[in-house]
Amino acid sequence: MDSGLQQLQQLQQGLQGMMQPTQPELVKMCSTVTVLAGSGEYIAWIAIKLFAGIFGAIVNALQLWRRGTSWTGHVNTRVALGYVYAWNILFGLAVGSFYVYDIARLVATDCHLFDYRIVLAVRGFSLSAVFMKAMIMLTIACERCYASAWPGHYEARMRHPYLTHAYCLIMSIISTAAVYVIVSERFRQFVPKPVPTFDLKTSENKEEYTGYQDEEAASSFLVLVQGTERQE
């Protein structure tokens, strides 16, 4: 009993600089970490996601290096698709790197807790990548519809690579800022508190996070609809 209490006190000392949880909260979080560390299925699932992230980043990088985006034809589409590749690579590297750390901390220590600010930073960036890709693909789909309706005007008047770069950069900034505002409950969740898992959704930001997921699903659906209409 004394050794357990001493271990909790050592853990609390290791959390200096963060919001100090109560001992019952710390016991609950450490129990969660212990259960996850002892679950072979959970470790295997993290390893699969780690492999998928790194493998996806490598495949996108090789695809961009070997084929580029010239096969798309129009210069605006080439520029926009380059940003899709870039976000895919960054997304895969961010997710893969963090899951390497997650596996290491489950295997190496008894109770290593995350700083929620790091979880927000990494997961927020990953969600930004997903949202940004959906927005760019939606833009490309709309552009293709316009090109199909008025091909002569589009080919003669709509070659603007620098404006496309500016648009994609602005959309990247806006999308990233919007995601962080939503999932951090207007930055109120950017506080130094310990958490046991790599889970972005909390009781405080549950409504905002659910709303973001609905918006992302809607944008992905629009991309799918636009692509289907173009094929027809």
pLDDT in tens, 114-124: 888 888 888 88
Q: How many CB atoms lie within 10 A of CB 152?
A: 8
183 touches 205 (CB < 8 A): yes
DSSP 195: E
- DSSP class per residue in 11-43: HHHHTTTS----HHHHHHHHHHHHHHHT-HHHH
Position 8, amino acid: L
Low-confidence ranges of the chain (pLDDT < 70): 1-23, 73, 109, 200-232
Q: What is the pLDDT of residue 232?
A: 45
Please, what's the largest Cα pairwise distance for the chain?
A: 81
Domains and CATH numbers, the chain: 20-231 (1.20.1070.10)
Q: What is the pLDDT of residue 18?
A: 55
Q: What is the pLDDT of residue 212?
A: 53
Q: What is the pLDDT of residue 58?
A: 92
